[in-house]
């Protein structure tokens, strides 16, 4: 089979070839001679230097859920840090909440204040869609982070982690480790099953495992909390006396997952995590844990949202793109972190 990562390499090669072709077209005339200007084939918008230089001050409203676990805490601190990195951003931060009505009220306040852009990680994408549409209709660009709205018109930019890709990355890694074994026993500890993101992660995991002839033998769902992870894992281990590999969707609940594994004295399998916490990277680096790898789900999404909202409000573009624009949809990568590359990603990890 061609792996997902192989497909990405092919796409990257194709893209580089296309950029090279643009460069050749820019430098040559139809008769093969060099053009007089030697300039670009298209207007590439603002440069990296222009984007970094201070411009007109822009007011950005930021709203996200309550930072009740490590990943969301990192999301919030990342947004604040990104705003602090620019002297031309006036950030208006709403109080974090898991109440959709309170978040709707916060966005309505941003609209009434006439902010230049809104960055929003909705506690519930569908519930926040109408007020995001209201902002867009008022001429305020909305940057939708992590949890999608139910209407694509509700945002100018959507920035997502790759939930399906997380599952694929975890499944492909496990296939590489145990795919040659007969009847390898695979477990899965999911997050909240009612959430589309959990369903996407499971779908990706199943699809990747099926490519190497494996499937999930036993599965439980937790709730992205330490206590929920410990309870679900205790249940899983009690009902199954052997695993070769287990994928846990979330490193925050992974603290409880590891506690249950250690309490049960189990070391018959290796564990793959999800999200990329410092706790789990420390376990991976130690080489003394069942924790062998984790799959990144970037906690930098809101920081990216702040930076891109600034570009929109200042009518700038992404300088590394030939097209003079800012994309409407960005899906971030989901790489696998092991002892071989943990140092490369450690500074981007979050504390559970």
Predicted local confidence at residue 69, as pLDDT:
85
Band the pLDDT of 47: cuts 50, 70, 90: confident
Q: Determine the average pLDDT of the residues in 109-136.
A: 97
Dist. CA 345–CA 168, nearest whole Å = 19
pLDDT tens digits for range 274-294:
999 999 999 999 999 999 999
Predicted local confidence at residue 68, as pLDDT:
84
Predicted local confidence at residue 322, as pLDDT:
85
- Provide the whole-model pTM: 0.83
How many Cβ atoms from other residues are within 10 Å of residue 307's Cβ? Answer: 20
State the virtual CA torsion across 10, 11, 15, 20 in degrees, nearest 10.
0
pLDDT tens digits for range 61-88:
999 999 888 999 999 999 999 999 999 9
- 93's CB contacts (< 8 A; 6+ apart) are 62, 63, 79, 80
Query: At what angle are helices 226-239 and 251-264 packed, to 10 degrees?
Result: 40
How many Cβ atoms from other residues are within 10 Å of residue 230's Cβ? Answer: 20
Band the pLDDT of 43: cuts 50, 70, 90: low
Predicted local confidence at residue 344, as pLDDT:
95
Residue 343 is inside which H or E element, if any? helix 342-345
Partner residues linked to 37 by β-bridges: none
Band the pLDDT of 163: cuts 50, 70, 90: very high
Domains of the chain, first to last: 48-161+300-320 (3.40.50.2300), 163-297+337-348 (3.40.50.2300)
Give the residue among 210, 289, 308, 309 at the shortest CA–CA distance from 248.
289
Percent residues over pLDDT 90 in the chain: 78
The burial class, CB within 10 Å (0-12 / 13-18 / 19+), for 334 is buried
């Amino acid at each position: 089979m061609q792996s997902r990562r192989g497909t990405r390499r092919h796409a990257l090669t194709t893209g580089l070839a296309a950029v090279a072709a643009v460069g050749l077209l820019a430098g040559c005339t139809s008769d093969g001679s060099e053009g007089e200007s030697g300039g670009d084939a298209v207007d590439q918008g603002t440069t990296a230097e222009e984007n970094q230089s201070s411009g007109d001050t822009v007011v950005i409203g930021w709203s996200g859920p309550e930072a009740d676990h490590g990943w969301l805490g990192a999301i919030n601190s990342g947004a604040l840090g990104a705003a602090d990195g620019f002297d031309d951003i006036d950030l208006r931060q709403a109080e974090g909440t898991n109440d959709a009505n309170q978040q709707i009220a916060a966005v309505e306040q941003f609209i009434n204040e006439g902010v230049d852009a809104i960055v929003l990680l909705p506690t519930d994408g569908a519930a926040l869609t109408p007020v995001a549409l209201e902002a867009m209709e008022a001429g305020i660009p909305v940057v939708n982070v992590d949890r999608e709205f139910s209407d694509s018109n509700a945002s100018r930019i959507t920035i997502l982690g790759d939930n399906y890709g997380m599952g694929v990355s975890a499944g492909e890694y496990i296939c590489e480790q145990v795919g040659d074994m007969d009847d390898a026993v695979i477990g899965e500890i999911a997050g909240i099953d009612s959430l589309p993101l959990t369903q996407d992660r499971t779908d990706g995991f199943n699809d990747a495992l099926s490519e190497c002839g494996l499937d999930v033998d036993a599965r439980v769902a937790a709730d992205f909390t330490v206590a929920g992870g410990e309870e679900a894992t205790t249940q899983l281990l009690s009902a199954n006396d052997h695993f070769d590999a287990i994928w846990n969707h979330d490193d925050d609940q992974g603290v409880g997952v590891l506690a249950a594994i250690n309490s049960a004295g189990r070391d018959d399998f290796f564990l793959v995590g999800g999200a990329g916490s410092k706790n789990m990277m420390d376990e991976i680096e130690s080489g003394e844990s069942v924790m062998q790898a984790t799959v990144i789900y970037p906690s930098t999404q809101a920081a990216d949202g702040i930076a891109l909202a600034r570009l929109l409000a200042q009518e700038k573009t992404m300088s590394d793109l030939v097209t003079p624009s800012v994309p409407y949809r960005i899906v971030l990568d989901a790489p696998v972190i092991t002892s071989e590359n943990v140092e490369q990603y450690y500074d981007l990890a979050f504390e559970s």
